[in-house]
């Protein structure tokens, strides 16, 4: 087993990885920017090292500094989490060349799946259904128009090196092609350093279904069932669940087998995900995520398999001990992403200091958080603060449990999307499982309406302020632990490990 790991990330996923390391007896090393000096992931790790200023380009994206810290800390492996450097083949290659174990797939696998046109070529060759379209980048607007006429409008222009909706344009008619192609290329070049764009048929109301995979270095690859991720905003997922309410056992087996073929085509190892679009009973390959996913907890709850621990075990050379027939999902799990955004105002980002935090508890409730009371939420990073996940015997019970947990959640000092999620849990089409990627367009009231039993915002603020005062008084009566760090202001996380070692 690997004995020490540097977590090259921040926030809730860094906390998640550090906890997995703790349970496996692995020494964890955190890195942080100046803005994250007292973040939970920093205070929870066994050691922590400063990377640089708040902007990610000067801290979390600095490969040279991450590798320097890894050498100084004497770690064996580096876990990239998700986002930042997680799907950059050059980073995985640099980690391996520096003599460390990259906790994820090989650089060659990341590169193959990172190029969407190459990925489509490989999937087609492996017999995995792909959305009708090109498997090579477009040459010019004339070629795009000709292909669009052949496929029929609407069509979708997509960045070859892209993801997260960047470099993507829906084209409804021929006179939009040139303008949309120019815009997609500019955005792709700015976001990914590669302006290549391809074209495919636009599916108007598909569901977004993804299959979780695990592969080891001995050639064993299995799938762990599907996740429904159709509720999205601009191709960013908001609510996820497992299993999907519309996938039959037969279809699950077919999609799982296709996902395994996809993984075999690129010699996949570690945890990964194959994403599909599903419409009118047919499924089509969308992309492969060569990392742990934000929504991995719902799969963990229905299968009982710790995916992050298995990333670490696989990187240590362990063989997956279970077979496909051993995977029998149980119950239903739902995840709501808690972000510092205002859905009522077009998902406008919110900033501020968290004055009071009350996390829901009780049977079947899980909180994967990267925040704490006193935590400062800025604009430097992704607005994801935490994930609220529930598990119950049935989907109906899971929805009710999530509604109850959302009612208990209080984050005072910064606006969040909590009320939006509460409205989703109340909405009839969601409760019936009638969702597609157009869900928010078809239910605009979800963004601005009120949910049943919603506590008055002013009452919530008053209660939070009073609770914050009581908590502050309680802390003043407690003698704080000795902290070996430059910044000695306290957070509730600091009592978790006693003395904290920080490197500069």
Local confidence band at 448 (pLDDT 50, 70, 90 cut-offs) = confident
The domain 4-103 is placed in CATH, from the list 3.40.50.20, 3.30.300.20, 3.40.1390.10, 3.30.300.30, at: 3.40.50.20
d(CA 372, CA 407): 19
E strand or H helix that includes residue 201: strand 197-201
- Choice between 471 and 257, residue whose per-residue pLDDT is larger: 257
Which residues carry out catalysis? 291
Residue 398 phi, psi dihedral angles, 5° rounding: -65, -40
Local confidence band at 470 (pLDDT 50, 70, 90 cut-offs) = low
- Position 309 pLDDT exceeds 60: yes
pLDDT of residue 459: 60
Cβ pair 184, 194 in contact under 8 A: no
The predicted-structure confidence for 98-138, as pLDDT tens digits, reads as follows: 999 999 999 999 999 988 889 999 999 999 999 999 999 99
Local confidence band at 235 (pLDDT 50, 70, 90 cut-offs) = confident
Class of domain 207-448: alpha beta
For residues 260-285, give the mean pLDDT.
97
Residue 365, sorted as left (phi over 0), alpha (psi -120 to 50) or beta, turns out to be beta
> Does the bond joining 154 to the residue before it have cis omega, within 30 degrees of 0?
yes
- HSE, CB side, 13 Å, CA atoms: give it for residue 14: 29
d(CA 196, CA 366): 41
Local confidence band at 18 (pLDDT 50, 70, 90 cut-offs) = very high
d(CA 143, CA 157): 12
Cβ pair 120, 284 in contact under 8 A: no
pLDDT of residue 463: 56
d(CA 168, CA 181): 9
Compute CA 233 distance to the chain's CA centroid, rounded to the nearest angstrom. 14
Name, in order, each residue with C-beta under 8 angstroms of 79's C-beta and a sequence gap of 6 or more: 5, 6, 7, 8, 9, 17, 103, 104, 311, 312
- Position 452 pLDDT exceeds 70: no
Asked if the domains at 4-103 and 207-448 fall in one CATH topology, the answer is no
d(CA 326, CA 329): 10
d(CA 32, CA 10): 7
d(CA 301, CA 299): 5
Q: Where are the domains of the chain?
A: 4-103, 132-201, 207-448
Architecture category of domain 132-201 in CATH: 2-Layer Sandwich (3.30)
Q: What percent of the chain has pLDDT over 70?
A: 89
Instruction: Report the range of poorest mean pLDDT among 77-91, 207-221, 292-306, 486-500.
Output: 486-500
Cβ pair 203, 197 in contact under 8 A: no
d(CA 131, CA 120): 9
Mean of the per-residue pLDDT values of the chain: 91
Local confidence band at 161 (pLDDT 50, 70, 90 cut-offs) = confident
Cβ pair 390, 338 in contact under 8 A: no
pLDDT of residue 454: 54
Cβ pair 11, 464 in contact under 8 A: no
Local confidence band at 465 (pLDDT 50, 70, 90 cut-offs) = low
- Position 468 pLDDT exceeds 60: no
């Amino acid at each position: 087993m690997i004995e020490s790991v540097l977590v090259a990330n921040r926030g809730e996923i860094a906390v998640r990885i550090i906890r997995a390391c703790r349970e496996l007896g692995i020494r964890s090393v955190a890195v942080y920017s100046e803005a994250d000096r007292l973040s939970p992931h920093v205070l929870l790790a066994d050691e922590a090292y400063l990377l640089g200023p708040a902007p990610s380009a000067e801290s979390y994206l600095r490969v040279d500094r991450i590798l320097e810290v890894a050498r100084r800390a004497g770690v064996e492996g580096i876990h990239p989490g998700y986002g930042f450097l997680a799907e950059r083949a050059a980073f995985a290659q640099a980690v391996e060349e520096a003599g460390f174990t990259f906790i994820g797939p090989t650089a060659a696998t990341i590169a193959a799946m990172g190029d969407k046109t190459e990925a489509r070529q490989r999937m087609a060759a492996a017999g995995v259904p792909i959305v009708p379209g090109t498997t090579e980048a477009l040459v010019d607007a004339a070629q795009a128009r000709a292909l669009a006429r052949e496929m029929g409008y609407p069509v979708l222009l997509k960045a070859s090196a892209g993801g997260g909706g960047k470099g993507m344009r829906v084209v409804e008619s021929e006179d939009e092609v040139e303008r949309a192609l120019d815009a997609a290329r500019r955005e792709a070049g700015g976001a990914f350093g590669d302006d290549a764009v391809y074209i495919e048929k636009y599916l108007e109301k598909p569901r977004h279904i993804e299959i979780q995979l695990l592969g080891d270095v001995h050639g064993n690859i299995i799938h762990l069932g599907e996740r429904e991720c159709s509720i999205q905003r601009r191709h960013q997922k908001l609510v996820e669940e497992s299993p999907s309410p519309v996938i039959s056992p037969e279809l699950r087996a077919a999609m799982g087998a296709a996902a395994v073929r996809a993984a075999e085509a690129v010699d996949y190892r570690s945890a990964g995900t194959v994403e599909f679009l599903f419409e009118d009973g047919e499924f089509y390959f969308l992309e492969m995520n060569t990392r742990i996913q934000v929504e991995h907890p719902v799969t963990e709850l229905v299968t009982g398999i710790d995916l992050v621990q298995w990333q670490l075990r696989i990187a240590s050379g362990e063989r997956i001990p279970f077979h496909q027939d051993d995977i029998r999902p149980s119950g239903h799990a739902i995840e709501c992403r808690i972000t510092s955004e205002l859905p009522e105002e077009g998902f406008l980002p919110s900033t501020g200091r968290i004055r009071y935090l009350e996390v829901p508890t009780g049977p079947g409730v899980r909180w994967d958080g990267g925040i704490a009371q006193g935590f400062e939420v800025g604009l430097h990073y992704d607005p994801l603060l935490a994930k609220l996940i529930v598990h119950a015997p049935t989907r109906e019970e899971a929805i009710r449990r999530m509604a109850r947990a959302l009612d208990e959640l209080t984050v005072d000092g910064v606006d969040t999307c909590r009320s939006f999620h509460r409205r989703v849990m109340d909405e009839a089409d969601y409760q019936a499982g009638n969702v597609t990627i157009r869900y928010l367009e078809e239910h605009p009231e979800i963004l601005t309406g009120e949910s049943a039993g919603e506590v008055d915002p002013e009452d919530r603020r008053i209660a939070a302020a009073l609770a914050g005062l009581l908590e502050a008084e309680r802390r003043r009566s407690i003698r704080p632990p000795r902290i070996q760090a430059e910044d000695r202001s306290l957070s509730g996380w600091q009592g978790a490990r006693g003395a904290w070692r920080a490197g500069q």
